[in-house]
Structure 1
Amino acid sequence: MPYIDFNQLVELEAQCQLNKCQSTTDITWRSAALSDVGRVREVNEDAFYNDSEQGLWAVADGMGGLARGDYASGVVVDAFFHYMKASSIAGCVRDIEIRLREAHANCRNSFKNKGERVGSTVAALYYYGGFGFLFWAGDSRVYRLRNDELTLLTRDHTVAQDKIASGALTPKQAARHPSAHVLTRAVGVHQTLHLDLDFDPVQAGDRFLLCSDGLYNELSDEVLQSLLTQGEVQEAVKALVDKALDQGGRDNITAIVVDADGT
């Protein structure tokens, strides 16, 4: 759905109460995260948040074209440390949105006197009431592996993706286009932060991958799917990052693998 529609979330809450939606106790979460500077960059501008107890995970990629990308991604990740769980879906989503808007303001106001701008992508997964909620801005991604089928759950906020949507480019053309990594949204860059939100019921056995573009740019969807189907979360995340390094590691690489186990 476009941006965050709180009226829709209130309706979802009412529907959940009526249908007695699955509670958070029905899923046991296991996750592992890994970040690597790669083989070319000198500074790791990626950061992550990994909290299976809260059911909250996030990847942030500081924008390499701007100053102090590592600072920006750190500000974004810090926002999740201050998250306070509310008693409703809308309340939880609003709290996360508020935290990210604070991070946005922090990034915009930092280093102003030096004439520098800082910015970061964000892609987050949050579990509440049987649903996985996705928040994102930029081109960090969330994938889901369900029944051995890999699905991209987020849509890149890039000029190239907009050209795909308008029919000006095919996905294959867009991958090689100069605008492939020109962001249309990010934390800290534009005057207003526009987050996208989507949600879907979680099924026991789902495996999620949150990652920066340094991972998926090096690996095809077929390779991502193959590596995600193997091993425990620790093994899978290491295999993914190692493979991206083997393929060149031309950017910082960050991945979180998250398993939803039934109880």
Structure 2
Amino acid sequence: MNNVALPFESFGVSHKGCVREHNEDNYLVEPQTGLWVVADGMGGHEAGEVASASIVDHLATIGIASSAPDLRARFEDRLSRANAEIRRISRTRGITIGSTFAALLAMDGRFACLWAGDSRIYLIRNASISQVSRDHTEVQELLDRGVISEAEALTWPRRNVITHAVGVSDDVVIDFQQGELMPGDIFVLGTDGLTAHVSDAEIEAAAVSGKPRAACESLLQTVLARGGTDNVTIVLVKIGDARNGQTLHPDRSRAGTRG
């Protein structure tokens, strides 16, 4: 494993959008522990926010891990606790609630991206953007099976139906990708309120054009200018170069811009 400690610079924003009355998204920016998360709650007024907040609150207790495998183990433990808590709340209220999430873990020169649902993770490397995550949606499954085309997927009537989320079953089903961090890497985590209005190319252009805070705020303003039909949450992480001796101490955040 590469033990070079690469510096991070990161920022996050969250907004209820132009249509929704409440923000059911939450996010976590914890560079000290090597963890960044966005979570998009489901379940209606207040319930969705409870689910996404449970994920963020539990993951915020991870603390400083001793190694990358330890960080991953702590993450999965806290996510399991959040799932159990959301299940208990669901039973108490007599409704089904849950939350998607997308997370970036980084330590010892390595990264892991983990997700459930349609919140996404992008990696910009060598001036090229790629979607690391793969949507857990009904329409993505139909695409994967060749039942519908890309063009049909754009107007599919059930394109927002989620197939995996935290809190909807006793077992948490997640996917992950992992690899080596490279200086200059940029990770963008976003709920579907971002990707519903902004293209991959526009995400890349904003991310490479300035600091994480400016990029997040620019993307948010683009979403709002285009109608913001859903809550939107964006977390951006830039990987620095250890050789330049720079140490970056980005903002430590656990709440979005509500308004």
Using the size of structure 2 for normalisation, the TM-score is: 0.89
**Percent identical residues:** 35
Q: Give 1:100's aligned residue.
A: 79
Counterpart mapping for 1:102-141 below 5 A: 102-141=81-120
1:177 maps to which of 150, 156, 163: 156
2:209 and 2:85 map into 1 onto residues whose CA distance is: 40
Q: Give 1:39's aligned residue.
A: 18
Q: Give 1:237's aligned residue.
A: 216
* Residues 1:52 and 1:85: Cα distance change in structure 2 (over 3 Å): closer
Count of residue pairs brought into register by the alignment: 242
Counterpart mapping for 1:2-13 below 5 A: none
1:172 and 1:160 map into 2 onto residues whose CA distance is: 12
Aligned: 1:57 with 2:27: no
Please report how far the alpha carbon of residue 67 of structure 1 lies from its aligned counterpart in structure 2 after TM superposition: 6.4
Unaligned segments of structure 2, at least 5 residues? 243-259
Residue-by-residue CA offset, 1:135-190 (whole Å, 9 max, x unaligned): 11111011011122111000010111111111112233213212321111000012
1:115 and 1:64 map into 2 onto residues whose CA distance is: 11
1:84 and 1:194 map into 2 onto residues whose CA distance is: 24
Counterpart AA for 2:85: N
Aligned: 1:220 with 2:199: yes
Residue-by-residue CA offset, 1:44-90 (whole Å, 9 max, x unaligned): 00000001222210000001558610111000111211113443333
Q: Between Structure 1 and Structure 2, which shows a larger proportion of helix residues?
A: 1
2:192 and 2:22 map into 1 onto residues whose CA distance is: 16
1:142 maps to which of 121, 126, 146: 121
Higher relative contact order (CA 8 A, sep 6+): 2
Contact 1:66–1:118 at 8 Å: present in 2 too? no
Contact 1:133–1:197 at 8 Å: present in 2 too? yes
Q: Give 1:5's aligned residue.
A: none
2:36 and 2:44 map into 1 onto residues whose CA distance is: 25
Contact 1:66–1:117 at 8 Å: present in 2 too? no
Aligned: 1:22 with 2:3: yes
Using the size of structure 1 for normalisation, the TM-score is: 0.88
Cα RMSD, aligned residues only: 1.5
Aligned: 1:79 with 2:58: yes
Counterpart AA for 2:3: Q
Secondary structure, aligned partner of 1:87: coil
2:11 and 2:93 map into 1 onto residues whose CA distance is: 38
2:3 and 2:148 map into 1 onto residues whose CA distance is: 41
Aligned: 1:154 with 2:130: no
Q: Give 1:8's aligned residue.
A: none
* Residues 1:111 and 1:165: Cα distance change in structure 2 (over 3 Å): closer
Counterpart AA for 2:220: V
Contact 1:35–1:253 at 8 Å: present in 2 too? yes
Contact 2:67–2:108 at 8 Å: present in 1 too? no
